[in-house]
Homo-oligomer: A and B are copies of this chain.
Amino acid sequence: MTFTIERSQIEGLVRSAIRGSLAASSAPQSASKTLAGFQPPGWVDGKPNLRVSISARHVHLTDEHVEMLFGAGSKLEPDKDLYQDGFYAAKQTVMVVGPRRRMLPNVRVLGPTRPFSQVELALTDSISLGIDAPVRHSGHVHDTPGCVLVGPAGTVKLDQGVIRAARHVHMNFADADHYGVKNSDKMQLVVKSKECSVIFDDVLVRADEAAKLEVHIDTDEGNACNLEAAMEILLRKDDCGCQKK
């Protein structure tokens, strides 16, 4: 039995944008330098400038898979720069097909290409596809389910690589010093929203010299706390530790 459904309806199920948060959009966008003349990546007025972004479902591809999906000689074409320098949403999208012929159309490819292909879904997406994707940090794809990717020029069968990306925060070492954390620590993200405030535990620190301070959560997490209508956003080292229950 089949349904006829408008393309716009299907596209309505896809959130392709990586959205900046209240914290980012309300912060002054000054390009001023600190007194010493040096300002770490992403800092504004001499201090960290917290941004929280919702990562909609997306795909990372190898060079080889780009050619298999989009044709020999094809390259990813940057469409929109992401907040982290050098990363972009490509013009290309793929269809992600799960078992029992369920599929997600028009899943955005992010660039640049990588040494392995990987599909990052929210749990809601994973359920709709019928894939039991585990919560993993990017690159940790051992023992994860696979899927089929369909592009205009061909298909790719991934034996593994479908994950729900675990929440994390990119930061440079000046940001890490500011918060008193180091790479691989876990932090808390507090989002105050009307009637639906949330404290996210397990926010993994991914510290890198060139990174700008940015928390990545998925659409389920962003929607659970209504991020885009948030009144206050706070990143903190850990919970209070008082263990009151």
Contacts and interface: CB of A to CB of B under 8 A. Distances in A.
A92 interface: no
CB-based closest 9 A-B pairs: A123-B223, A197-B201, A199-B199, A224-B224, A220-B223, A240-B244, A166-B195, A135-B195, A221-B224
B101 A226 contact: no
Interface string A206-230: 0000000000001111011110000
Given A9-B101, A9-B102, A236-B245, 19 more contacts: A2-B5, A2-B6, A6-B101, A12-B100, A12-B127, A12-B130, A13-B128, A122-B223, A123-B223, A124-B220, A135-B195, A135-B226, A136-B195, A137-B195, A195-B202, A196-B202, A198-B199, A220-B223, A240-B240
Given A13-B128, A224-B221, A4 B4 contact: yes
Nearest to A236: B245
A35 interface: no
A88 interface: no
A8 B99 CA distance: 11
Interface in A1-56: 1-10, 12-13, 15
B2 A219 contact: no
A135 B224 contact: no
A9 B201 CA distance: 33
12 contacts: A1-B6, A2-B4, A3-B7, A12-B100, A122-B124, A124-B220, A127-B223, A166-B196, A197-B200, A197-B201, A236-B244, A241-B244
A181 interface: no
A225 B217 CA distance: 12
A105 interface: yes
A202 B7 CA distance: 38
A187 B166 CA distance: 26
